């Protein structure tokens, strides 16, 4: 039976290719929606939830592992979801951290086909300095941003609403959604935002 909450096009998403840096990315050939956030923010889980696939993006209990730029094709849209390296993982050596952040920054500034950016932040710790830096880079190029406050299930309804309001106040220009890969809060709204960016609306 079809899952009514899942977007039928996003559910056809398939892994395409991984690249260690912008230079190795595939040719710019369709609209791309990037997913970024601190490592452990719930990025891989969100990608799996949005596409209705258990193992599309690897969910790791050990944060800081995803260092590649991973491209996933969304067939009927001609577009791609792009899983970007997680940042801010404390246990990674400083030089390596800087290198990943450099790759991420280069991608956000130079990738012309990037039409949307989903910033994932733990609902309990949103808008860190690095998160704000990502938004600044997106704003420079007028890339649309969606802010997903992940792990919504970890807070009470009240606390979650307060967190969303305070983030929304700081980012009046972005859609801010509470999101949970566990209970699928925000799934329909987030899917629709992503799908619209892929279809150039
Ligand atoms: N309770 C809860 N845990 C989550 C949720 N999303 C992710 N997690 C957990 O958070 C950890 C990091 O998730 P992952 O998706 O690998 O984060 P990533 O490093 O940003 O890709 C894992 O242990 C997940 O099971 C959520 O919505 N609710
Ligand atoms: Mg991950």
Residue 171 has a pLDDT of 97
CATH topology of domain 10-198: Rossmann fold (3.40.50)
- What is the CA 149 to chain-centroid distance, rounded? 11
Please indicate whether residue 163, judged by its CB atom, sits closer than 6 Å to ligand 1.
Answer: no
Cβ atoms of 84 and 67 within 8 Å: the answer is no
Q: Are the C-beta atoms of residues 77 and 85 closer than 8 Å to each other?
A: no
Ligand 1 pocket test target in 36, 39, 40, 81 with most atoms within 8 Å of CB = 40
Give the position of tokens 């952040």: 101
Q: What is the pLDDT of residue 95?
A: 82
CA 160 / ligand 1 centre spacing (Å): 17
Q: List per-residue pLDDT tens for the chain, 201 residues long.
A: 678 899 999 999 999 999 988 899 999 999 999 999 998 999 999 999 999 999 898 766 665 555 789 999 999 999 999 999 888 877 777 887 888 888 899 999 999 999 999 999 999 999 999 999 999 999 999 999 999 999 999 999 999 999 999 999 999 999 999 999 999 999 999 999 999 999 986
> CB 112: neighbour CB atoms within 10 A?
8
Q: Give the model's pLDDT for residue 2.
A: 75
Task: Say what the pLDDT of residue 36 is.
Answer: 96
Pocket test for ligand 1, best of 37, 45, 154 (most atoms within 8 A of CB): 45
Q: Is the CB of 60 under 6 A from ligand 1?
A: yes
Q: What is the pLDDT of residue 170?
A: 97
Instruction: Please check whether residue 151 is in contact with residue 49, taking contact to mean a CB–CB distance below 8 angstroms.
Output: no
């Amino acid at each position: 039976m079809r899952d009514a909450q899942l977007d039928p096009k996003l559910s056809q998403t398939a892994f395409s290719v991984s690249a260690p840096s912008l230079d190795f990315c595939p040719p710019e050939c369709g609209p791309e929606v990037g997913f970024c956030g601190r490592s452990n923010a719930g990025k891989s889980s969100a990608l799996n939830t949005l596409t209705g696939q258990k193992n599309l993006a690897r969910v790791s209990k050990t944060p800081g592992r995803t260092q590649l730029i991973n491209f996933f094709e969304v067939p009927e849209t001609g577009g791609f979801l792009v899983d970007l390296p997680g940042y801010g993982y404390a246990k990674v050596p400083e030089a390596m951290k800087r290198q990943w952040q450099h790759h991420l920054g280069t991608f956000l500034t130079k990738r012309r086909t990037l039409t949307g950016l989903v910033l994932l932040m733990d609902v309990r710790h949103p808008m860190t300095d690095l998160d704000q830096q990502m938004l600044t880079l997106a704003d420079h190029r007028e890339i649309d941003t969606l802010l997903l406050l992940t792990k919504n299930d970890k807070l009470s309804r009240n606390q979650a609403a307060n967190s969303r309001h305070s983030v929304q106040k700081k980012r009046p220009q972005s859609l801010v959604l509470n999101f949970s890969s566990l209970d699928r809060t925000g799934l329909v709204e987030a899917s629709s935002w992503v799908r619209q960016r892929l279809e150039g609306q």
